[in-house]
Amino acid sequence: MCKSKNLSIFRFFLLPAVCCLLVTVLTGCATISTRSAIPAYSIKGTTYYPLVSLCDLCGVEIRYDTLIHTAYLNKDGKRVNLRVGDAMVLVNDSVMQLNAPIDIYQGTLVVPRQFKEQIFDILFPQLVSTQGRPARQKIKLSKVVIDAGHGGNDPGAIGKNGLREKDVNLDIARRLNDLLRAEGVRTVLTRSTDKFIPLPTRVNIANKSEADLFISIHANANRSRALSGFEVYYVAPSISDSKRAAMTAKSVSLHLKSASFSNNSQTLQAIIWDMIYTNSRAESIGLAKALCNVMDSWIDANILGIKSARFHVLKGIRMPGVLVEVGFVSNLNEEKLLRSGAYRQKLAEGILEGLRDYSQDMALVEVSGK
């Protein structure tokens, strides 16, 4: 039913980090959205919808200015400008006041129900198309960094029957490495042996590689042995970023024009960095979703979904990145499964399938991010 897929350039994350044991204290658990319906979120009693999904559904072009945290919607000459943290929006040059502000939730720009029903739905009716979705252009994934978590004197989580997370991670990383190479994809492993590699070194390896994406492989643990399943973390929206957005929203006038770029190289650098991170965030979410979607039918395990992380594993990595938690070594059944080479091979193959899906989605991001 959707005509075009203008993907976001603007999903904000926080910089993630890797420590499986911290997983239980992380906030921000997202369920995977269904493929056609628009997900809804309740924030402080108000229902919100992800703006990008609405735009996708209705073929509305969307741009995002990372400097002033403002989104510009446009279709057939109809325009809406809205800014994060602000309850006022510009609709074809008229100011309209909402009862709740534009917000960012789990890395995605979200709009209150009132905006959807009283402005968006009226201005941009949903497309009723008899055509299928536009053909997806596959993008070549030429290089991937595979990061096996922990190693050496850092065993990671340890199962009741002694299975060590670091060994599971390394084995799956190697299997994925073989699979990707067989597909002609170049790979970089942050470690290929049982060796301790500090996080900053992992980040350096990744950034020097100039790869297209980064995958960190981990296994989970929880005090509750009943907990089991597969989940993927992507970089979460940082509090500082939200605060910055809110402050910007207050200080910048509502008269919205494209930000003028100064010649000051520091300013320019900041903008460029902002764009790099923002783009990577959108792609990381896409990758996380693709992995969960594939695994849902690939393995007989709970799919716990995609989650935003507030920890510091992928911090500083200048490419789309996710942290995959393949299962819980603290769960007796999953510890047994993860001990099996056949199951680890299946997980590696599932990740490969997710990457295939992702490489299709990535092309869409590139098209809209022109």
**Interacting residue ranges for Zn ion, rule: CB under 5 A:** 20, 149, 156, 218
Residue whose CB is nearest to Zn ion in the complex, by number: 20
Work out how close the CB of 156 gets to Zn ion at its nearest, in angstroms, rounded to a whole number.
4
Tell me how far apart the alpha carbons of residues 246 and 241 are, in angstroms, rounded to a whole number: 9
H-helix or E-strand containing 180? helix 165-182
Nearer to Zn ion, 63 or 218 (CB): 218
Strands in 321-328's sheet, in edge-to-edge order, are 186-189, 143-148, 213-220, 321-328, 230-235, 303-309
Nearer to Zn ion, 85 or 149 (CB): 149
Q: Two tokens at 284?
A: 């990381």
- Helix, strand, coil content of the chain in percent (nearest 5): 35, 25, 40
Work out how close the CB of 314 gets to Zn ion at its nearest, in angstroms, rounded to a whole number.
13
Which residue from 346, 320, 21 is spatially nearest to 165, judged by alpha carbons?
21
Handedness of CA 360, 361, 367, 370 (dihedral sign): negative
Length of the chain: 370
Which residue from 108, 68, 91, 92 is spatially nearest to 250, judged by alpha carbons?
68
Tell me how far apart the alpha carbons of residues 62 and 369 are, in angstroms, rounded to a whole number: 10
Nearer to Zn ion, 330 or 359 (CB): 330
Work out how close the CB of 296 gets to Zn ion at its nearest, in angstroms, rounded to a whole number.
22
Work out how close the CB of 121 gets to Zn ion at its nearest, in angstroms, rounded to a whole number.
44
Work out how close the CB of 99 gets to Zn ion at its nearest, in angstroms, rounded to a whole number.
43
Centroid of chain to Cα 301: 22
Work out how close the CB of 79 gets to Zn ion at its nearest, in angstroms, rounded to a whole number.
46
Give φ, ψ of 283 to 5 degrees: -70, -35
Work out how close the CB of 20 gets to Zn ion at its nearest, in angstroms, rounded to a whole number.
3
Nearer to Zn ion, 112 or 159 (CB): 159
Strands in 46-50's sheet, in edge-to-edge order, are 41-43, 46-50, 108-112, 103-105
Nearer to Zn ion, 86 or 147 (CB): 147
Tell me how far apart the alpha carbons of residues 195 and 220 are, in angstroms, rounded to a whole number: 20
Nearer to Zn ion, 5 or 218 (CB): 218
Nearer to Zn ion, 103 or 325 (CB): 325
Nearer to Zn ion, 20 or 362 (CB): 20
Work out how close the CB of 330 gets to Zn ion at its nearest, in angstroms, rounded to a whole number.
12
